[in-house]
Amino acid sequence: MAEFILSAFADEYSPVFDEQLLGLAEHGIKYMEIRGVDGQNIADITVEKAREIKSKLDAAGIAVSSMGSPIGKTGVNDPFEPHLEQYKRVIESAHILECDRMRIFSFFIPSGTAPEECRGKVFDRMGKLLDIANAEGMILCHENEKGIYGDLSERCLDIQEYFKGEIKCIFDHANFICCNEEPYPKAFELLKDHIYYLHIKDADSEHHMTPAGDGIGRIPETIEALRAYDRTYVLTIEPHLRVFKGLDALQSKHGEGAVLNQYATAAEAFGAAVKGIRRYI
């Protein structure tokens, strides 16, 4: 029987880290996937800032479930060395935060180019990331995202098979919907044995983000199917129910699903997202 643990992207509650901790406490969530901190991306913070964050996390009794990094969320033809330096900074922060998981992506494919044409370059870059991760004791976790190599389930499976499961699988229902792929049962059936953890956000047929269970992702059915596995799954709540810092640029550049300001405040939107998934666990 599976066990489910809630985590969250608390920067969608507030950009202010102290308020993020209060939001998690308000909803009884003991883990966060850390991404935005006091107006900075987790990839850009200093060592001193990481130590300050760690002290606050310890005081609040909250742990980091994964580093919500932007690594691999760049063009496959963009310069790689600066990206590697950013990657190494994230790892340094991860060690300070006592977190051994990092979210990554499989690089945006140029418009008009078949993803398969870039497979070799994508896997070469991912292989370099994996070599460093293995040396540093980090676990890389790939998220399906619109426009990257691993946006559809078949190519997510390709990543799993090529790297022999060393790069783990994050399953995101809404992102599959935004690629016009059925998350359940289609994508789930291909990836169910590889799912390491999940990002919890849903979307409707027009690609508008919704709380879990209110869209077409069939998140309730997914949770029920996962119960058969003797594993612990982190469910990271990623509300996307209000626009937040950094998201608007991604929406316009890469055509991500529409995030509507459906709720009066970020705190209200966050609460709706938490309530959505708690119906099913």
pLDDT at 257: 58
User: Measured between alpha carbons, how far is 133 from 277 in angstroms, rounded to an integer?
Assistant: 31
pLDDT at 261: 78
pLDDT band at 246 (very low <50, low <70, confident <90, very high): low
DSSP string, 246-273: THHHHHHHH-PPB----SSSHHHHHHHH
Of all residues in the chain, what percent carry a pLDDT higher than 90? 93
131-183: pLDDT as tens digits: 999 999 999 999 999 999 999 999 999 999 999 999 999 999 999 999 999 99
4-14: pLDDT as tens digits: 999 999 999 99
36-51: pLDDT as tens digits: 999 999 999 999 999 9
pLDDT at 259: 80
Q: Which CATH architecture has domain 3-278?
A: Alpha-Beta Barrel (3.20)
84-110: pLDDT as tens digits: 999 999 999 999 999 999 999 999 999
pLDDT mean across residues, the chain: 95
Tell whether the model's pLDDT for residue 251 goes beyond 90: no
DSSP string, 33-99: EE-EETTEEGGG--HHHHHHHHHHHHHHT-EEEEE---TT-SBTTS-SHHHHHHHHHHHHHHHHTT-
The candidate with the shortest Cα–Cα distance to 38, out of 7, 69, 16, is: 16
